[in-house]
Amino acid sequence: VQRTGGDSTSSGGDREFIPTIARMAAAGRYLPCPSSPTNQLTKNLLVGVDGLFIETHPEPARGLSDATTMLPLHELQPLLEELMDIALASKAKQGR
């Protein structure tokens, strides 16, 4: 999670929240939404994503910028595998 101006030389952040926020995005779900008589497409609002942008680095502390917001590279694959499982289960449950 990036925080603008979090430290004096670059933006700061809290990388420990990356997995939690990514899990919420991957679990996307449909929420009821008021529909207009002229537009039936507004019946449901999709909350979630089909893509993620995750800053990563083999050694975040040695990165040239945003060190505090980067996920260590060795943590990326396990997280992506978990996110795929969550997304597939969520979509199956919703019939998507």
Distances (CA, A) of 88 to 23, 46, 92: 12, 15, 6
pLDDT digits (tens, 9 = 90+) for 25-84: 888 765 555 554 444 444 444 556 777 888 999 999 998 888 888 999 999 999 999 999
φ/ψ region of 88 (left if φ > 0, alpha if ψ in -120 to 50, else beta) reads: alpha
Its pTM stands at 0.68
Question: What is the reported pLDDT for 10?
Answer: 60
Domain regions of the chain by residue span: 16-94
Q: How far apart are CA 28 and CA 49, in angstroms?
A: 6
Q: Looking up tokens 């505090």, which residue turns up?
A: 68
pLDDT the model gives residue 73: 96
pLDDT for position 82: 93
